[in-house]
């Protein structure tokens, strides 16, 4: 089998999800550190985003496609449930995380801390403030979702948890989001448990320079 490469910065939340997936499956890979729109990412992702994948002649972009490929081609436990309803629920939560949670919590709010674009590098309140009222109901939604079983779907860790955990990790750093998370007892306990999970712990990236530790 040719060497499997995951291409992207380890701090990228979608890169991290793919690495959790590989680790859970016991698939060895080489992490090729690369920024979005670099020669390395442009060579494998149609939009030059990260993560990308290279495996012999196969090149792919988009975390969902990458995870599907790895899950199908390599042996090892799958993070997609075999039960059709649970599999569809996993897709449902991954879609919600990617299309609703990530755009508000990371692309809008967290960006105000890590890529502020302010002259002195201070947090950009123009990004942060409008995100706050959107984040409150999202935290409440996620708190309810994990309250029953401690997972997004069923009784075990799925790819949906692999997508959500990196985002919650970053949300535990800045003051407003860590306060919101702290009020969501089920979600805060969920995050603590996932961060102790070997596949998550062993792939946790270095902190963003602008992100405050709690």
Q: Binding string, 6-45, against ligand GSH, x = CB under 6 A?
A: ------xxx---------------------x---------
- 44 token code pair: 């494998």
Residue 179 parent element (H or E)? helix 175-183
Contact 32, 40 (CB under 8 A): yes
CB of 18 to ligand GSH, least distance (A): 8
**Only segment of 19-27, 48-56, 78-86, 197-205 that touches ligand GSH (CB under 6 A):** 48-56
Q: Scanning the structure block, which residue is given the tokens 């949670």?
A: 101
Cα–Cα distance between 113 and 45 in angstroms, integer? 27
**Smallest gap, in angstroms, from Cβ of residue 167 to ligand GSH?**
10
211 is an interface residue for ligand GSH by CB under 6 A: no
Chain positions 93 to 152 lying near ligand GSH, rule: CB under 6 A, are 98
- Count residues near ligand GSH (CB under 6 A): 11
SS3 127: helix
Closest contact distance (angstroms) between CB of 136 and ligand GSH is 24
Token pair, residue 162, equals 């692999």
17: closest CA among 171, 208, 158?
Answer: 158
Shortest approach of ligand GSH to residue 62 CB, angstroms?
A: 5
Q: Least separation, in Å, of the C-beta of 156 and ligand GSH?
A: 22
Q: Would you tell me how many other CB atoms lie within 10 Å of the CB of residue 100?
A: 13
Strand locations in 8-167, DSSP E?
Answer: 30-32, 52-55, 58-61
DSSP SS3 for 61: strand
What is the closest distance, in whole angstroms, from the C-beta atom of residue 50 to ligand GSH in the complex? 4
54-93 positions binding ligand GSH, by CB under 6 A: 62-64
Whose Cβ is closer to ligand GSH: residue 63's or residue 90's? Answer: 63
Name the residue nearer to ligand GSH (CB basis): 19 or 143.
Answer: 19
Which residue in 19, 25, 49, 54 binds ligand GSH (CB under 6 A)? Answer: 49
Tokens of 131: 């995100």
Q: Put the strands of the sheet holding 4-7 in their side by side order.
A: 30-32, 4-7, 52-55, 58-61
Residues at the contact surface with ligand GSH, assessed by CB under 6 A = 12-14, 36, 49-51, 62-64, 98
């Amino acid at each position: 089998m040719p060497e499997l490469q995951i291409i992207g910065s380890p701090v990228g939340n979608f890169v991290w999800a793919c690495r959790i997936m590989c680790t859970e499956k016991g698939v060895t890979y080489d992490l090729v550190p690369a920024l979005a729109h670099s020669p390395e990412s442009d060579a494998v992702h149609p939009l030059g985003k990260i993560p990308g994948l290279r495996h012999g002649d196969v090149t792919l972009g988009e975390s969902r496609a990458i995870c599907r490929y790895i899950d199908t081609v390599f042996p090892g436990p799958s993070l997609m449930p075999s039960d059709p309803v649970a599999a569809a629920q996993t897709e449902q939560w991954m879609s919600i995380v990617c299309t609703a949670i990530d755009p508000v919590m990371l692309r809008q709010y967290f960006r105000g801390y890590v890529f502020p674009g302010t002259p002195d590098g201070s947090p950009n309140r123009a990004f942060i403030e409008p995100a706050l009222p959107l984040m409150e109901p999202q935290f409440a939604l996620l708190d309810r979702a994990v309250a029953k079983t401690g997972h997004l779907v069923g009784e075990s860790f799925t790819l949906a948890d692999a997508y959500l955990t990196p985002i919650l990790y970053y949300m535990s750093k800045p003051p407003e989001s860590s306060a919101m998370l702290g009020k969501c007892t089920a979600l805060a306990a969920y995050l603590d448990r996932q961060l102790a999970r070997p596949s998550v712990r062993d792939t946790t990236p270095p902190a963003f320079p602008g992100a405050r530790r709690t």
